[in-house]
Chains A and B, each alone.
Chain A
Amino acid sequence: MSKFQFPESIKSRPVWGTLEPRAGKAHLMVADSEGAEALLDLAQADATLMARAHVIYIPRETGESYTVRLKELGAAQFYVGPSYEAAVPRLRRTLSDAHMGLQVYLTGTEGLMGQAMREAIEAGIPHSAIQTEHRGSIARRMQCVHCKGITDDVITDPFVCAHCGLNLFVRDHYSRRHAAYQGVCIDAEDPGNVPEPVRLYS
């Protein structure tokens, strides 16, 4: 099962929703990994959506598991990319030409949804008008508040910053502009005293 019920948290932590068909002449769908399942559900809820849809899909570790079924949905434009970074120029190009009324659907990991949401906000869509649905990994994209480096797919708390090497604890404080949670040095007041890393939500 690709769904995970996140516990209630502080008000800056994003609350992911459930994708539902909305009125609009154009529909942009961005998904990674098990996010494909949410797109399949969405297409089932309203099959007419896909004729006006542009789907950007990054399978990551799911490989070929979903690509055929997604392609069969018959989206007006269907793109499968090797990584989110590789898909960014295409996403920006699509948004730069888009018009008001465009509906955006993001689904998959928090890192994917956060980064694609940042692009859509930059293009002029209010964040609250962008639909999301979490599927798959619960790993987080973390910003180190000290060196500003981003560490992707963090799955333990604490973790080691991939850039400066500090031991950081995982906060729920989240920035849409960074598309990341905040990581803060865990042993600042007692250098060297770093607790054993624990898997998130375990």
Chain B
Amino acid sequence: MSAGTNKIAVTVTDVVPVNELVKRFRFVRADGGQLPTFSGGAHTVVEMRDGDTQRLNPYSLMSDPMDQSAYTISVRRDDQGRGGSLFMHNKVRPGDAMTISYPVNLFSLDLRARKHLMIAGGIGITPFLAQIKQLTAMNGRFELHYACRTPALGSYVDELTAKHPNNVHVYYDDQGQVIDLEHLLDGQPLGTHIYVCGPKGMIGWVRGKAAELGWPREAVHYEEFLAPQPGKPFEVKLAVSNKVIQVGENQSLLEAIEAAGVDAPYLCRGGACGQCETDVIGYDGKFIHRDHWLEDDQKAGGRKIMPCVSRFEGKTLVLDR
């Protein structure tokens, strides 16, 4: 089964600049019907047809999970990326028809938690926007600590602080404000769960500090979707389907497999969920593993690759697809 293949045809109704780096997109169902409800922390995979290239990028749903009339996402422009966010920023207009996946949640709330302690960095705020709406409706206890570069780049700060003045704490890098993590993690009641979404460094910092202070691993949740990075083109042989495909500079290996008409499973497309794990049958060259699914010894072993974010440089690569 190829998970995530249940698609929804949608129409873009609004494209709203949030600040100089972030735009918000609102989708309604093309057939006028209701969208599925979802759980806070879920993402949707947005399909982008940019000329001959097709990209599928995951974005966290930030709208109210109970609101079936529309979904909203926020996209941060990445000028160095492969062009997915640039396509969303520069090409997508209200009225455009697009295809998105059913919601998938790899960053859900632990509903047993006595308290939800959320730590966000930059655009990592988006899953929390939906989770906070869900928790507010359920009278759940939460606290958000949100680090942004500058007030001008603080997406949704005003909305959050106006609605939840006692639960939301904002830190601006340019004003030298830093989350006092040690103090924050010390003295939280038993049954508190931490959720962190932001840059890799922030996730490592929070996980490390929590472990140092004796927090159980199961109480620390994180989501880090890696955007696939561009790289040198390479050639791959797909043994099962007996095809030789080319992976372009701005294309991921997974996208190239899909473009060749070969069905490959996926969920997150960001190196996190493990769903697209693919067996390597043979290779001559070196892997550029970028996922955080495979263990280090698996990465060194040369028998597995996560085609959503990882690449290859060398003469030959044969995959079990």
Chain A residues proximal to chain B, CB less than 8 Å: 22-25, 95, 98-103, 123-126, 128-129
Contact = CB atoms under 8 A, between A and B. Distances in A.
- Name the residue among B114, B191, B216 with the largest chain A CB count within 10 angstroms: B216
Interface in B116-138: none
A126 B219 contact: yes
A98 B191 CA distance: 10
Contacts of A102: 190, 214
B172 interface: no
Contacts of B214: 22-25, 100-103
Given A23-B212, A124-B191, A125-B216, 19 more contacts: A23-B213, A24-B214, A99-B186, A99-B187, A100-B185, A100-B188, A100-B190, A100-B192, A100-B214, A100-B215, A101-B185, A101-B213, A123-B190, A124-B112, A124-B192, A125-B190, A128-B218, A129-B216, A129-B218
Closest 8 CB pairs of A and B: A124-B191, A24-B214, A129-B216, A101-B214, A126-B218, A124-B190, A100-B188, A101-B213
Contacts, number: 56
Interface of B: 112-114, 185-192, 211-219
Contacts of A101: 185-186, 213-215
B212 A100 contact: no
Contacts of B187: 99
9 contacts: A23-B211, A25-B186, A98-B190, A99-B186, A100-B213, A123-B190, A123-B191, A128-B216, A129-B217
A123 B112 CA distance: 10
A106 to B, nearest CB: 15
Nearest to B189: A99
A201 B190 CA distance: 38
Contacts of B192: 100, 124
A24 B215 CA distance: 8
Contacts of A22: 214
A99 B184 CA distance: 12
Contacts of A99: 186-190
Nearest to B220: A100
Contacts of A95: 190
B213 A126 contact: no
Contacts of B189: 99-100, 124
A87 B185 CA distance: 29
A100 B116 CA distance: 12
Contacts of A125: 190-191, 216
A198 B114 CA distance: 45
A125 B213 CA distance: 14
A102 B216 CA distance: 9
